[in-house]
Structure 1
């Protein structure tokens, strides 16, 4: 019974990983597609490969998700909490994908964990949540916005006397590298979050020792592969929002936004092991880059809808997870 339940939860976690891939594919490729630096299919294939590579570059974020958000009971009840958390994250992913809103799969997962744990009267590690999640939920888009603005301002000054057409062609080539760097950062961050959830499920059922937060090789392999498949499936609705509706992008702006966001993802994963949102980071970087032209160049109405989705993500996913916990609890 316990092994069957574990297999089901791992399957649900991998489905979440797949939805994360197609939901967040736009993070890596929207700018390079909208500026025609890459064709959509070439961009998706590149993003899938780089997501796969990125998933093997570390496990610090996985350890934070697996042991730094909640402390569930080490039994089937704990596994129920994990399953309900995944349900909350998946439902919110699908809702925001349907409406084309680039919300955060990361914060959907965190919200699901918190909501399910509270519904079960479980333990939420609030100090770690504040330090690793809430703090960086606020800081990462601010840093992305400011860095995007500064990087683009620097480009405008450096190339102020250059022929725009020549500059555009060079940056279009460079965007292939920045899009790949962004996809690598997405794999580094987002594949690890599902790894952490699976490790949490293994610990709650006794298949991995409590206090042992290392990620088994088979978990890394499976999560990397599924995330890549989800990425290749594409996220066209969200791609349109990020690539065209927030600002009109050209190759220099696209390169600046992608390079900025990738830098933030690497720093937070390797230095602070914080599960930051790739969605928040790239969207904020795009806004920062766009505002160098003039503030009105950013479509703040669209940006406002995105910010509302950001604010709602943790509580909304938490509520869905709490409801899911109540429903699942009826069956055992």
Structure 2
């Protein structure tokens, strides 16, 4: 295994070098705070503790710092890998500033939602451990948001071939894996599960309703609906419940009703609003169609590269013809000016008649 470490380090440094200063800064903060955790309890000071987040303590800075705090090397590797993956896959599409906004929105939302949920749990159970023994920290919340963003941009990408697993089901598969780990007590706390779940939720809400882009705000395409995160058998029920919740949020002015628009490429600049269509969904289908067309054209070119048998036969006939010497009229005539006989390579006589010196009838 030691022989693979230099190769892995080389790939890691190459991937890190190709990212922006935002990604490099976040990775540096994670590594620096991990080294600092050997001397100071960074999770207590910089992680989200529900009892200290709300008044009278109000440790508001932990909403920003909890994501870059780790205590174990494996967690550091997961955090750095998540940030680099976001920089390589999402930053070229969004830009460094939008990636930083997404990072801040998801992590602040995870801290608030997790702290508030543990506060409600304390109200229901009166157990002080939910207020002061729980520490929410790490990049699992941002990992959930990144997987949601990758589902939006490249959901049809195949992650595993046997069994076939596509990227669009990755957010819920990771959530299911964390739930199983918690049920088997391999996870000591519910904080990682809660952080990842709230990361998925906050990432989807931001990308669905609030992210600004050239076509407006949000993504109302059908393939990015909330029901698409669940198995097909549950999608009708989840879609109905999600529609009711969204209608309530629209009425209380938390969300605004989105209009789906489809831009028709025509000589005149006309924008037609059609139900159930979206430019991002159409663009995704267009890219898939172009990819399939390019693959078919490549296969046709590979097949046409083989020479045909007819061309080979024509080339052989041309070679035979060039091997037979051509005689001019002078060389073919006899001294008497009549016919002369010449032997072919096969030994047969052939008569060649020349009328060049024949007397004309006057």
Query: Which TM-score applies when normalising by structure 1?
Result: 0.30
Structure ranking higher in helix proportion: 1
TM normalised by structure 2 equals 0.28
Greater RCO, CA 8 A, separation 6+: 1
Q: Select the structure of larger CA radius of gyration.
A: 2
Q: Which has the higher strand share?
A: 2
